[in-house]
Amino acid sequence: MPYELSPSPVVPSLAARWPTVVASAGIAIVVLLGMAFFQPSLAGWLVGAAGLVAVSVWWVNRRPPEARVDAVTQEVDQDGVGGADGRLLDALFEALSDPVLVVAGGEPDDIAGRRVLLANQAARQLLRIQREGALLVSVVRDPTVLEAVDEALFGRVTRATDYVARDRHWRALIRPLPSAEDERLALVVLHDDTDVRRMEMMRVDFLANASHELRTPLASLSGFIETLKGHARDDEKARDRFLDIMAIQADRMSRLVADLLSLSRIELNEHIPPSGLVDLSRVCSDVVDAVSVLSEDRRVQVQVTGTVREAAPVLGTRDEILQVVQNLVDNAIKYSPTGGTVEITIRRDVSLDEVSAPWSGGSRGDGATRLPLLTPDRVAGLRYVAVSVRDHGPGLAREHLPRLTERFYRVEGQKSGEKAGTGLGLAIVKHIVNRHRGGLTVESAPGKGALFTAYFPATPEA
């Protein structure tokens, strides 16, 4: 039911008044009979008086429609727009989350004649409207929106256009409203499209980055294949070297596709919190076993500190939490110097404030910058289990920390060579932790290594 700008009372038609008319005619006949048979008596006077009252009622009821409209309008004005229903419509109009305006137009060539007749609370806050009757050009300065309003007012055309206000992107729908010939009204509804625009830009960037990341190994494979088919066909030494490079590029493409599929799958279910139980201590032990070959090749020692044998149950999905720990450990091994050490620390039954405080479990020097990459909602009494992975590699400068979880983001100087990855590892970590309603922090400084901490809600038994 549309919100009405002004009351529109309906005047009863003749068909609706026919019982009154018939009753009045009958009473008139009774009056005539009474006057004929009982004129000299008291009964005749009583019947005549009743007839006069009935005729008076009928006469009042047959007043011109304009008079009755004025009377009903006065009653409506005293009781509000439509009485109880009008008050409900007023409340609904004010409660709408989208800004809504009703605009009245003057003369087509009088821009200053466009005025805001009605504006709900969301519109008043967005456009900072101080009072009803404000000039439209003073609250909306976008020429496209003003043009669309004119088309609705004087051309009876419905139109949608884009509008930017208060650093937000809005979709403006303007349509004409039924009104009298001498009064032109238009409805303006603004819908916030900022998140949709942001997701669209992320999708475009994602596709551009993915195509760029795949283009490099594909170009390498194509070039080496042409070389092997040409002058290096009979060069056994060159053929072996080129095949090794091709295998590395093919493996890179395979990892990139796997990470893309993993990220898409996680984002699809990110809004569904997991309900299983996972022992974080056992997960860390399994990760250490899984990376043993890689750590031996790079001559990096992986140590788990804390009471590993004690259970550390958290709410989550085992495969996803294992992927979080393994991605963090893989990165730590990748950037650790030869002969270095990667430390995994488990902390049980910690509060959000404790797990958010700067890490004190080690001899980290001054100057390290700590930044939360993901912070969960604060829930009273909720405890967490945290796993921290620390390396002693080159570390990260302060300006790189906020962008570490962006897709395909890699620190300058780490985009080539044997340390190059897909750039999706920490993005996957962030989305998994977010699905588990946990948090993620980083603490690092150039030359002092890096420390990543992921924490998950503990079970009540933890």
Number of domains in the chain: 4
Contact call for residues 356 and 375 (beta carbons, < 8 A): yes
**Strand duo 168-177 + 159-165: pairing:** antiparallel
Do both 282 and 405 map to the same domain? yes
**What mean pLDDT is predicted for residues 250-258?**
82
pLDDT value for 452: 95
Return the half-sphere exposure (C-beta side, CA atoms, 13 A cut-off) of residue 328: 30
Query: Does the structure show a pLDDT above 90 at 36?
Result: no
| The pair of three-digit structure tokens given for residue 173, joined into one six-digit string | 């729908």
Do both 434 and 309 map to the same domain? yes
**What mean pLDDT is predicted for residues 419-441?**
86
- 11: which residues sit within 8 A by CB, 6+ positions away? 65, 68, 69
pTM of the predicted protein model: 0.56
Q: pLDDT, tens digit, for every residue of 3-22?
A: 334 433 333 444 445 555 55
Do both 212 and 350 map to the same domain? no
User: Final residue of a domain: which of 170, 192, 214?
Assistant: 192
pLDDT value for 287: 92
Q: Which amino acid appears at position 456 of this protein?
A: F
Most confident stretch, 127-131, 218-222, 288-292, 307-311 = 288-292
CATH, residue 292: 3.30.565.10
Structural domain including 209 reads 196-266
Specify which residues 439 forms β-bridges with.
Answer: 455
CATH, residue 182: 3.30.450.20
Is 419 part of any domain? yes
Which residue from 322, 194, 284, 274 is spatially nearest to 438, judged by alpha carbons?
Answer: 274
Do both 187 and 200 map to the same domain? no
Percent of the chain that is helix, strand, coil (3-state, to 5)? 50, 20, 30
> What distances in angstroms separate CA 246 from CA 113, 224, 227, 229, one per listed residue?
72, 7, 12, 14
Averaged confidence pLDDT in the chain: 78
Between 404 and 310, where is the model more confident? 404
Q: pLDDT, tens digit, for every residue of 91-140?
A: 888 889 899 999 998 788 877 788 898 899 998 888 888 776 788 888 88
**What mean pLDDT is predicted for residues 349-371?**
72
Is 1 part of any domain? no
Confidence class for position 384, pLDDT limits 50, 70, 90? very high
